[in-house]
Structure 1
Amino acid sequence: MGLSSWAYGTAEGLLAESLPKRWAHSQQVYREALALAPILGDDADLLAAAAIVHDVGYADAAVSTGQHMIDGGRYLQQIDADPRICALVALHTSSPWEAAELGLSEALRDFLPVSDHLVDAITYCDLSSSPSGRPVQPEDRLQEVLDRYGPGHVVFRAVSAARPELLRMVQRVREKVSVARLRGLSSESPGAPNPSIPP
């Protein structure tokens, strides 16, 4: 069983019934990851696996600190997931900024260092899916998060601080996709529906 097949079943078991909206979002993040395969090479299956489990920290079985990225990474460590998947889940999107707001930065040191290009990729995928699982532009997704939480909330503060870097991460991925497309390596754009769900 490949990493992504195992991860798909794990995420489905934790989210599909209890958190269906979060499950729909996770499936779209997974689709985005599959569409990035041409720029990921040997890391394509790893990213797809991390994408589908990236929000398992919201599941009751995983909640400990209340910071879902860290909680998801810790839960995956407890079930002996690949350490790279645990790290990508713990570090995705605005996690370092949110951890700093909550006094949890030290907790991120418990995770294996992981390549910046993979953190860029999972962040791009996360920001390319709406909360209900529709494809969305990352810029719009960030604005939606700010509007939903509002000033004063920890997520608002973290995303506001992270936004410039998150947009740079998105741009780096877009540039790689453009280069791959020019080279004829990519036949579909990120965000296109992928028939390989489930794996």
Structure 2
Amino acid sequence: MNGAMSRWARAVAEAELSEALPRRWAHSQGVAQRAAEVAGVLRGEAELLASAAVLHDVGYAPRLTVTGFHPLDGARFLRDVHAANERLVRLVANHSLALLEAAERGLRDVLETEFPLLENKLLVDALVYCDMTTTPDGEITSAEARLAEITARYGPDSLVGRFIRRAEPDILAAVSRVEAALAAQPR
């Protein structure tokens, strides 16, 4: 997808991540590539997915860190600094079951109030799929391997480790739904 919103999103993500966090930038590019691969199941939402995919981790940029919770920091940056598309901002804010991590951080009410979850379940699932089947270096992986990598990187008893353990069934279900939608596509 190469529309105006996705070109803008890529430029913003690159400006914020490429030098400050090159590995996070590689991951974001890989997630965007995965979004291109699932575009066919989303019809009119493909550009929104592509934009959210490349921007989903922009809140990790050191200069944007306010709360330390990257979905919230990134969404606020996109909303407040760039006046970005509301649906894009809400998708970034809620990527990969962020509400569950927000609960671990005592920020669930804040996230839900500022950025309500989108109603399009397949779109939300597609971003989970893209993020959770991409390694930190931007390579394709299985969701199970990605979950294990996150747990190993942060530690099973860390805040992120607890979140991932809690979110795992929902992450795997989202990935399965997207895989089923991809399999049902006419070839």
TM-score, with normalisation over the residues of structure 2?
A: 0.94
Residue of structure 2 equivalent to 1:39:
41
What is the letter of the counterpart of residue 21 of structure 1? Answer: R
Shift of 1:148: 1.4
Residue of structure 1 equivalent to 2:92:
89
| Larger relative contact order (Cα-Cα within 8 Å, sequence gap ≥ 6) | 1
CA contact (8 A) 1:84 1:112 kept: no
- Aligned counterparts of 1:40 and 1:134: Cα–Cα separation in 2: 22
Number of residues of Structure 1 aligned to a counterpart in Structure 2: 182
Residue of structure 1 equivalent to 2:63:
61
Identical amino acids, percent of aligned pairs: 42
CA contact (8 A) 2:28 2:56 kept: yes
Gaps of at least 5 residues in structure 2 are none
Residue of structure 1 equivalent to 2:164:
159
Matched, 1:169 2:167: no
What is the letter of the counterpart of residue 33 of structure 1? Answer: A
Shift of 1:112: 4.2
Stretch moving more, 107-116 or 17-26: 107-116
C-alpha RMSD of matched pairs (Å): 1.0
Shift of 1:31: 0.2
Task: Kindly report which structure 2 residues correspond to 1:80-119, keeping only aligned pairs within 5 A, or say none.
Answer: 80-108=83-111, 109-114=113-118, 115-119=120-124
Gaps of at least 5 residues in structure 1 are 185-199
Residue of structure 2 equivalent to 1:25:
27
Deviations 1:131-152 (A, max 9, x none): 1111111111011111111132
Q: Which stretches of structure 1, 4 residues or more, deviate above 2 A after TM superposition?
A: none
Matched, 1:179 2:184: yes
What is the letter of the counterpart of residue 106 of structure 2? Answer: G
CA contact (8 A) 2:27 2:137 kept: yes
Per residue, is there more helix in 1 or in 2? 2
TM-score, with normalisation over the residues of structure 1?
A: 0.89
Residue of structure 2 equivalent to 1:133:
138
